[in-house]
A and B are shown apart, each in its own frame.
Chain A
Amino acid sequence: MSAAPLQPPAPRRFLDNLREVPARLRESALRGGPPRSDRTRSTFVFGNVFLHLHAVRTHRWSLRWSTTWGLGIAAMAGFLITLVTGVLLMFYYKPYPDAAYLSIKDIHFVVPTGRFIRNIHRWAANLMVVAVLLHMARAFYTAAYRAPREFNWLIGMGLLVTTLGLSFTGYLLPWDQLAYWAITIGANIAQSPREVTDALGLTPYFDPGGLQRLLLLGSDIVGEEALIRFYLLHVMLLPLVLAALAAVHFWRIRKDGGLVRPADADRRLGPPSAETYPVFTEEPTKTYHLAAIVRGRTAAVGRGPEGTVPSMPHLFYAEAGVLMLTLLVCLGLALLIDAPLKELANPAVPENPAKAPWYFLGLQELVSYSAFMGGIGIPTIVLLGLGLIPFLDRETAGTGEWFGGPGGGRVVGQAVVVGLGAALAVEIFAIRYGWIREWLPGVPQLVITLINPGTVLTAIYAAYSIWLVRRYDSTRTGALGLFTCFLCGFTLLTLIGTYFRGPNWTFYWSPADWPVH
Chain B
Amino acid sequence: MTVTPGPARSRLDPDPLPRRDFLGLASLWAAASATLFATVGMLRLPRAAVLSSPSRKFRVSLPESLAPGVPFLPPGRSVALFREGEEVHAISTVCTHLGCIVKAAGDGFECPCHGSRFAADGSVVKGPAPKPLAWVKVSGSGASLLVDEEQVVPAGTKVKVKA
Contacts of B126 in A (CB 8 A): 434, 437-438
CA A437 to CA B47, docked complex, whole Å: 37
Q: How far is the CA of A371 from the CA of B128 in the complex (A)?
A: 7
Closest to A501 in B: B115
Q: Does A42 contact B (CB under 8 A)?
A: no
B125 within 8 A of partner (CB)? yes
Residues of B within 8 A of A221 (CB): 53-54
Q: Which of B53, B78, B127, B131 contacts A437 (CB 8 A)?
A: B127
Q: Is the CB of A215 within 8 A of B47?
A: yes
Interface string of A224-249 (1 = CB under 8 A from B): 01000100000000000000000000
- Shortest CB-to-CB span from B26 to chain A, Å, is 29
Q: Evaluate whether A188 and B112 lie within 8 angstroms (CB atoms) in the complex, with A219-B52, A370-B128 already known.
A: no
Residues of A within 8 Å of B124, CB to CB, are 437, 441
Stretch from B13-21, B81-89, B96-104, B154-162 forming part of the interface with A:
B96-104
Within B108-138, which residues are at the interface with A (CB < 8 Å)? 110-115, 123-128, 130-131
**For the complex, is B48 an interface residue (Cβ under 8 Å from A)?**
yes
Q: Which residues of B contact A505 (CB under 8 A)?
A: 112-115
**Residue pair B128, A368 in contact (C-beta under 8 Å):** yes
Compute how far the CA of A488 lies from the CA of B111 in the bound complex, rounded to whole angstroms.
Answer: 29
Asked if B51 CB lies within 8 Å of chain A CBs, one says yes
Q: A374 to B128, alpha carbons, bound, how many Å?
A: 10
Q: Nearest residue in B to A218 (C-beta to C-beta)?
A: B48
C-alpha gap A505/B97 in the complex (Å): 13
User: What 0/1 pattern do residues 339 to 370 of A give for CB contact below 8 A with B?
Assistant: 00000000111111110000000001001111
A504 B115 Cβ-Cβ under 8 A: yes
Given A349-B101, A437-B124: A354 and B113 within 8 A (CB)? Answer: yes
B-side interface size class: 20 to 34
| Binary interface encoding of chain A residues 104-142 relative to chain B, with 1 for a CB under 8 A from any of its CBs, else 0 | 000000000000000000000000000000000000000
Contact indicator B130/A188 (Cβ below 8 Å): no
Residues from chain A with a CB closer than 8 A to the CB of B51 are: 218-220
Verify A181–B131 contact, CB threshold 8 A. Answer: no
Any A CB within 8 A of the CB of B41 = no
B131 to A354, Cβ gap below 8 A? no
Q: Binding site of A, secondary structure by majority: helix, strand, loop or mixed?
A: helix
- A211 to B, closest residue via Cβ: B47
In the bound complex, residues from chain A placing their C-beta under 8 Å from that of B98 are 184-185, 188-189, 192, 367, 371
Does B46 belong to the interface (CB within 8 Å)?
A: yes
In the bound complex, CA of A220 to CA of B123 (Å):
24
Inter-subunit contact B115/A445 (CB<8 Å): no
Do A504 and B110 contact each other (CB < 8 Å), given the known contacts A184-B98, A367-B98?
A: yes
Select A220's contact among B53, B100, B103, beta carbons within 8 Å.
B53
**Distance (whole angstroms) from the CB of A445 to the closest CB of chain B:** 4
Residue A199 lies at the interface, judged by CB distance under 8 Å to chain B: yes
Q: Closest residue to A219 on the B side, CB-wise?
A: B51
B106 within 8 A of A: no
**Any B CB within 8 A of the CB of A386:** no
User: Which residue of chain B is the closest to A441 with respect to CB atoms?
Assistant: B125
Inter-subunit contact A350/B130 (CB<8 Å): no
CB distance from A441 to the nearest CB of B (A): 7
8 Å CB interface, A196-214 against B: 198-199, 211, 214
Are A348 and B101 within 8 A (Cβ)? yes
User: A77: CB under 8 A from chain B?
Assistant: no
In the assembled complex, A503 has its CB within 8 A of some CB on chain B: yes
Residues of A within 8 A of B123 (CB): 441
Which of B46, B76, B97, B114 interacts with A218 by CB under 8 Å?
B46
How far, in angstroms, from A367 to B125 measured CA to CA in the complex?
17
Contacts of A449 in B (CB 8 A): 130
Contacts beyond the supplied A184-B99, A437-B126: 17 A-B pairs with Cβ under 8 Å: A185-B98, A195-B130, A214-B47, A215-B46, A221-B53, A225-B48, A353-B113, A354-B112, A368-B115, A368-B127, A369-B128, A371-B97, A374-B128, A437-B125, A445-B130, A503-B112, A505-B112
Which 9 residue pairs are nearest across A and B when measured between Cβ atoms? A352-B112, A505-B115, A368-B114, A188-B98, A188-B99, A220-B53, A445-B130, A350-B100, A185-B98
